[in-house]
Amino acid sequence: MGNSGVTFGRFVALRRAGLGWTQIRLAAELGRSEDWMSQVERDLQQVRDLTILQRLAGLLGAELAELIALPQPAVDRVRSRSRKPPSATLASTSGPEEDDVRRRQVVTAAAAALFAPIVGAPTASATAGSLSDLEDLLLYGTGRIPAPRTDPTRKTVGDSVLTSRREFKDARYDTLARALPGRIAAAEMVGAPEERARAVAQLFNIATRLCIKVGDNNLVVITSDRALTAARSGGDPLVTAEARRMVSSSWRRQGSLARATDLAVVAAEDLLADTTVPERDRLATRGELYATAAYTAAKTGDRAYAYALIREAADSAAAARRGSGMVDGTRGAVLHQVSVHYELGDSGRAIELARTIDPTTLPTPERQARFFTDVARAFGQWGRPEQCYRALLAAEAAAPQEMRRGAVRELATQLLRHDRRLPGVRDFAARAGVQLG
C-alpha cells in the first residue's frame, strides 16, 4: 500500500484493522496495555524500542525499515493516570456495610473454616430445581404458562425484573426458575414494543445466567439468543452489552473459545464508543465484558491475552468506581482473576490472590459461593483435598443451591477418594448430586 502522508499510528491502525484484530489483541501480542496501543494509533505515543518495532513489523506483515521511516510524534504524551496492578486496586477497596447480619456471620464462619479442622458439613441441602416451565415457554410459547392472577402493568413488570435479579444474587435458583416463565410472559404483554423488548431481554439475560448455574447448555444457547434478539429491538446499549456477554458465555460452553473471546471484546469496544451511555456505566460494563473474555482466553491457554484482558477489566472497573463509591465491579474483576489463574494452571497464584479477599465484603450469596467454589477448584488443582473440601463447605454455607454446579460435583467426586480423611464428604457429595455406588 502507498504510505505517502500516512503517520506511524495511522499505518498501525490500518494494518491491524486489515487483520481483523482489536487493539487489545495487538497490545497483548506486544506485551503492552490497550491504553498504550490506543495512544500509539492516535500518534500520541512514540515507539522507539527496536525489539517492539521488530515484533510489530512481523505481526503487521510490514518491513522494519518501512515502519521505522514513518513519522511519529516528537515526544511521548504525559500520562494522565497511573495504571495500578489489579492487586493494588483490590487492596484499596473496602466493602459496603452488609445489611443482612445473619448472613455475614455465616460467611465469616465459613471463611474461617478454610483454616480450621474439619468437623462436618452444614445441614442445609440444595434441591435439584427444574427448568421444565422455562423449557416449555421457549419451545411452545406462552400457551402452557398459567395466566397471571391480575393483569400485568409497567410497574409489576419492572418490579419482576428487579425481583429476578435479587433472587439470582441471593442464589434462590429454585424460586427464580419457577417464577421466570410467568414473568417473561407478562413482560411480553405490557408497554410499547421497545419497552417490552427491553424488559424481555433483561429477563432472558437472567434466565441465561440461571441456565448456566444449572448446567443446561442447550437452554443457555436458546435463552442467550432470545436475550440478544430482544435487546436489539429494545435499543438499550447496556442491556444489549449484557446480552452479548451471555452469547459469549454460550459460545464458550459450546467449545468455541476463540469466537467467544472475540464476541466479548468487540462488545466491550462497541459499548465504550457509545457516548449515549454515561461513562461510568460504560466502564463498569466494559470491565465485566473484559473479565468474561479473560476467563475464556485463559481456557484456551493464551496466557498473555488472558492477563492483558483481566488487567483491562480491573482498570475499567477501577475507573468506573472512582468518585462513585462503587466497589462491586472491582471485586468482580478480582474474582475473575482467581478464575483466570486457575484456568492457566497457576493454582498457587490463585490462592495467593484469594487470601487477599475478605468474602464478607462480597455483596451477594451468589458472589460469595462462587468465590469459595473457585478457591476450592484452585486447592483441588494444587493437590490440597482438605482445603478444597473446606472451601466447598464454605460455598454451601453461603448458598446451598450453588451445590448443583457441575464444577462442585466434579470436585466432590474427586474428594471421595479421600473419604477416610474428610469427615462427612460422602454426605456432601450426595447433596451435590453425585451418584454414590
Q: Could you tell me the CATH superfamily of domain 8-69? A: lambda repressor-like DNA-binding domains (1.10.260.40)
78-104: burial string, b at 16+ Cβ within 10 Å, e else: eeeeeeeebeebbeebeeeebeeeebb
- Which residues of the chain fall below pLDDT 50? 1-2, 76-99, 117, 119-128, 323-327, 329
Q: Tens of pLDDT along 125-137?
A: 444 457 888 998 9
Beta carbons of 354 and 378 less than 8 angstroms apart: yes
3-state secondary structure at position 346: coil
Q: Supply the DSSP symbol for 433.
A: T
How far is Cα 45 from Cα 38, in angstroms, rounded to an integer? 9
134, 180 in Cβ contact below 8 A?
Answer: yes
- Distance, in Å, from the CA atom of 289 to the CA atom of 285, rounded to the nearest integer, reads 6
What is the pLDDT, as a whole number, of residue 288?
94
pTM, 2 dp: 0.75
Tell me the backbone φ, ψ of residue 35, rounded to 5 degrees: -60, -45
Cα(17)–Cα(3) distance, rounded to whole angstroms?
16
User: Which pLDDT belongs to residue 319?
Assistant: 87
Q: Where are the domains of the chain?
A: 8-69, 128-254
Distance CA 412, CA 121 (A): 13
Q: What is the pLDDT of residue 24?
A: 80
The predicted structure's pLDDT at residue 95: 40
